[in-house]
Structure 1
Amino acid sequence: MRSLKYGFCLFFTSLLFSGCSNKYEVTFDSNPRGATLICNGNNWGYTPKKLYYDEKVRNYSSLDVSSCSANWVSGYKATYPKDMQIFPNGGTIVTLDRPTYGEGYPMDAQFALQVEQMQAQQAQASKAEYDESLRSIRNNLDHIQNQQNRTLEQMNNINRNMQMDNLNNNLNNINNNLNQINRNNRNFNWLAP
Structure 2
Amino acid sequence: MSRLYEALAAIEQRAHVLVRMDFPSSHAEGRARRRRSVIALCAVAVLGAAGLTVVVRGPSIPSPSAPLVSPLPSAPPPEPLRAPELRDRAWEATVLGSLARAEELLQRAVALDPANASAWNDLGVVLVRRGQRERGIEAIQRSLALDAQHAEAHRNLAVALEQDGQTLGAAAHYRAFLALAPGHPDRAQIEQRLGFPEPAEARR
| TM-score (normalizing by structure 1) | 0.31
Structure number having the greater strand percentage: 1
Largest Rg, 1 or 2: 2
| TM-score (normalizing by structure 2) | 0.30
